[in-house]
Structure 1
């Protein structure tokens, strides 16, 4: 499996796990919330919203359009902190995000 195929597969698995944990929303945040200049939009979105509405679509776009991949990816530490606030069992989701970090970074 190529690096891009692996990343695309992980993006789908992250979405599937977020849906299973009821961390997926059918309602998109406002345009203003999505345009935050803060890392992970911490001032306007919950972390899982940032993953759903910004990270996953952007990474998919990069893969589909054959754009250069980021030179590094280190989202797992933020995910660990953010998911401490969630009642659901997030271990599998955290592992998938760590796997995504590795898949992006190791190919560089």
Structure 2
């Protein structure tokens, strides 16, 4: 059974809240060129928090709003741990929210 869209939507809000709480939420979008990066997580043009805000969250919201199938697996937390460090207290709320998202998607 796939993860419910409502649960995923709630988790996306928690991820957004964590970004905002840490001051990692930008008021202006990056350039179109930065958003068009072909690298995973746009590592060559965006900070990880920018990728979450401007790529990941909008794509996931679009999937939910379209009623499309959610991904079957997610591994965003390990990337976040590489960026922020596993024991980073400042990023702990975000790391937890991303880990919960990964588990929600993967558990279905």
* TM-score using structure 2 length: 0.91
Where do 4+ consecutive residues of structure 1 move more than 2 Å? Answer: none
How many corresponding residue pairs? 104
For structure 2, the 5+ residue unaligned runs are: none
User: Are 2:59 and 1:58 aligned?
Assistant: yes
Q: Distance in 2 between matches of 1:29 and 1:49?
A: 8
Higher relative contact order (CA 8 A, sep 6+): 2
1:4 equivalent in structure 2: 5
- Structure 2 residue aligned with 1:36: 37
Show the counterpart of 2:20: 19
- Residue 99 of structure 2 is matched in structure 1 by 98
CA RMSD of aligned residues (A): 1.4
Distance 2:89 2:30 in 1: 22
Query: Which TM-score applies when normalising by structure 1?
Result: 0.91
Q: Does the CA-based 8 Å contact 1:24-1:52 persist in structure 2?
A: yes
